[in-house]
Amino acid sequence: MTRFRAVAFDLDSTLSSLEGIDWLAARRTPEVAEAVAELTRKAMDGELKIDELYGRRLELVRPTRDEVALLGAAYVDAEVSGVRAAVGRLRAEGIRMVIVSGGLREAILPFAATLGFAADDVHAVGIRHNGDGNYAGWETTSPLATPAGKGVVLRALALPAPLLGVGDGITDLAMRDAGAAIAAFTGVVSRPGVVAQADHVVATFEDLQALVLA
C-alpha cells in the first residue's frame, strides 16, 4: 500500500531545470530576457498572478516553431537528476502520473515522451504558428494560464486518491483545490512562499519516491 495513488508533476524547474519561457527569451535581446525572467519570478513567487502576464511574456518573445522545437530538446538535456529512475519506479508500482504545466505543450511533449508519458497525460498550454513557422498566438482559453488552472485540470481528470501535486511555483498550490496534497520541489529553486504552504518539501527525486511509496 503506497501513501499516494497518483502524482501530478509540474515541469519547469521540477522535472527539468529550465524555465521554458525564460530559455526562449534568452534568445532575444538582454532587455527582453531580463524583463521576461523578472515576470516569471514574480509569477512563481506569487507577486503577480499568472493570467496578468502570460500573454505579455509570449508577446515579448514571439517564439518561432523552430525555437519551440529547440526548447523541447533543451528540456531533455536539462532533466533533473533522478527524475527518470523515480518516474520508472513509480510507474512500476502502479502510480498514476500526469504532467500539469503552464508551459508550452509543443515543447513539453517530446521531453514527456522520453519519460514514458502519453500525450493524453500531458496538460499544458498550446501555441500557434503560421505557415512560415512564425508566432501566431497561444491558447488563450487554457485554464493553465490562470492562477486556479492546475486545480481545474486535476478536478476534470478525477485521478485516484490520495493524490500528490509536485512543483516549485505558487500556481502549483492550486492543485490542492482538487484534493491533492502538495509537495514543494526545491531541487532547482526554493520559493519560501510555496514551501511555507506546502504539505511536504522534497529536494530530490529520491526523496519524492520515498514520500510516494511510504
- Closest of 132, 142, 162 to residue 7, by C-alpha: 162
In a domain, 144, yes or no: yes
Alpha-carbon separation of residue 153 from 61, 143, 179 (angstroms) = 26, 7, 12
- Write out pLDDT tens, residues 73-108: 999 999 999 999 999 999 999 999 999 999 999 999
Can you read off the three cell numbers belonging to residue 198? Answer: 506546502
CA distance 211 to 52: 34
Range of the domain at 199: 6-213
Is the dihedral angle over the CA atoms 6, 10, 13, 16 positive or is it negative? positive
Pairing of strands 135-138, 127-129: antiparallel
What pLDDT, on the 0 to 100 scale, is given for residue 46? 87
Q: Is residue 118 situated within a structural domain?
A: yes
Residue 67 lies in a domain: yes
Contact (CB, 8 A) for 170 and 46: yes
Residue-level pLDDT at 1: 63
Q: What residue type is 55 in one-letter code?
A: G
Within the chain, which residues score under 70 in pLDDT?
A: 1
Q: Which residue has the cell 511536504?
A: 200
Measured between alpha carbons, how far is 109 from 121 in angstroms, rounded to an integer? 10
Q: Which of 47, 41, 51, 49 is nearest to 12 (CA)?
A: 41
Q: What does the buried/exposed string (b/e) look like for 139-168 if buried means 16 or more CB atoms within 10 Å of the residue's CB?
A: eeebbbbbbbbbbbbbeebebeeebbbbbb
pTM of the predicted protein model: 0.95
How many structural domains comprise the chain?
1
What whole-number distance in Å separates Cα of residue 59 and Cα of residue 62? 5
Identity of the residue numbered 195: V
Strands 200-202 and 135-138: unpaired
The answer to whether position 1 is within a domain reads no
Which residue do the cell numbers 505543450 mark? 105
* Domain membership flag for residue 146: yes
Question: What is the predicted pLDDT for the residue at 18?
Answer: 96
- What CATH number should be reported for the domain holding residue 176? 3.40.50.1000
Phi-psi region of 179 (alpha: psi -120 to 50; beta: other; left: phi over 0): left
Q: According to the model, what pLDDT value does residue 2 have? A: 76
DSSP 47-77: SS-GGGTHHHHHHHH---HHHHHHHHHHHHH
